[in-house]
Amino acid sequence: MNDKRHDPRDAELDRLFELARQAPPDISGVERNFEGRVMARIRESREPWYAWAWRLAPIFLVLTILLGGWSVLYPPIHAADPVTMLASGTQEVALLDYLTGE
Amino acid sequence: MAVPDGDADLVRSAIGGDDEAFAELVRRHKGMVLRSAARFARNPAELEDLGQETFLRVFRDLRSFRGDAPFGHWLSRITVRVCYDALRKRRREEKDISMEVLASPVADPSTGSGPSAHLARMILDQAMSRLKPEDRLVITLFELEDRSVREVAELTGWSETRVKVRAFRARRTLKRLIGGDDER
């Protein structure tokens, strides 16, 4: 690969490579405490699946509070419609009467 | 507890569950891994990802290290493999990259001193992003890391002939790109 080249673009390319080699990439920012971050990733990958359950607890808590608030603000509708009554489960007797024609 | 000082001792301790031994391996070799990966990363975040992925893979495959070659060689091969995988994944994203930066401080004969080292890197980065991942990998190891054909072949697991062909093709494409006649 180091043979004499006559194409002027070869010389140009070699010059670019030579210059680029003189400017090694700056890794100082990433190098700082890199091993700490790698070890944290490794420890994270070792955690059992149920360790995640605790992290999801706040989400379930918020969900429970929202559902509680919603059920207080919007109580079930008591309509004359038999399907709604069936769904509500509170008018079973009336529904039975309606269906049996009494 | 005695502190193991050779890489092979650290590997054995790490396999036995000693996290501090593995952390010491990372501490010893992070410079080499990051310097090598930096040739392929586009920004510090990507460099961090490549470095972490390399050491996670090392940790996962630690038992397959046989110890018949220095740990650093084995680690270099994994670094190259991780960077190559990243190049392949990235390939599609960079197809439409602008080539404006190649407009020629290099080609212009009136430019007395030519480009700075930083500009040279920028120009090469842009041009090399147009290469196929295999070609980019080979030309980076060969020209920027100044490795021999045999070393590149060992690191990539490819034959020396394949490495030479890839390097030749990469140079040809780069010359075309830097010369301004982009045919793609």
Q: Which two tokens stand for residue B16?
A: 């036995």
Helices (H) and strands (E) in chain B, counts: 8, 0
Q: How far apart (Å, rounded) are the C-alpha atoms in residues B160 and B156? A: 10
A35/B115 Cβ within 8 A: no
Q: How far apart (Å, rounded) are the C-alpha atoms in residues B164 and A1? A: 8
ipTM above 0.90, yes or no: no
Q: Is B27 helix (H, G, I), strand (E, B) or coil?
A: helix
The residue behind tokens 């969900």 is: A63
The yes or no reply on domain B1-90 and CATH 1.20.120.450 is no
A89 in contact with B at a CB cutoff of 8 Å?
Answer: no
pLDDT tens for B99-154 read: 444 544 444 434 445 568 888 888 888 899 889 999 999 999 999 999 999 999 99
pLDDT value, residue A6: 66
Q: Is B84 helix (H, G, I), strand (E, B) or coil?
A: helix
B175/A7 Cβ within 8 A: yes
The yes or no reply on domain B97-184 and CATH 3.40.50.720 is no
Q: Domain boundaries in chain A?
A: 8-100
H helical segments located in A1-102: 8-22, 28-31, 34-46, 51-73, 82-88, 92-100
Same fold, B1-90 and B97-184: no
Average pLDDT over residues B42-54: 94
**Which candidate from B38, B115, B164 shows the least CB-CB separation from A27?**
B38
Sequential DSSP letters for A37-60: HHHHHHHHHHS-TTHHHHHHHHHH
Q: Domain boundaries in chain B?
A: 1-90, 97-184
Q: Which two tokens stand for residue B179?
A: 């010369």
Contacts of B143 in chain A (CB under 8 A): 17, 21
pLDDT value, residue B138: 95
Residue B86 and residue B51 in contact, taking contact as beta carbons nearer than 8 Å: no
Distance from CA of A30 to the nearest CA of B (A): 6
**Which candidate from B34, B107, B146 shows the least CB-CB separation from A30?**
B34
Average pLDDT over residues B86-101: 66
pLDDT tens for A44-79 read: 888 777 777 778 888 999 999 999 999 888 876 655
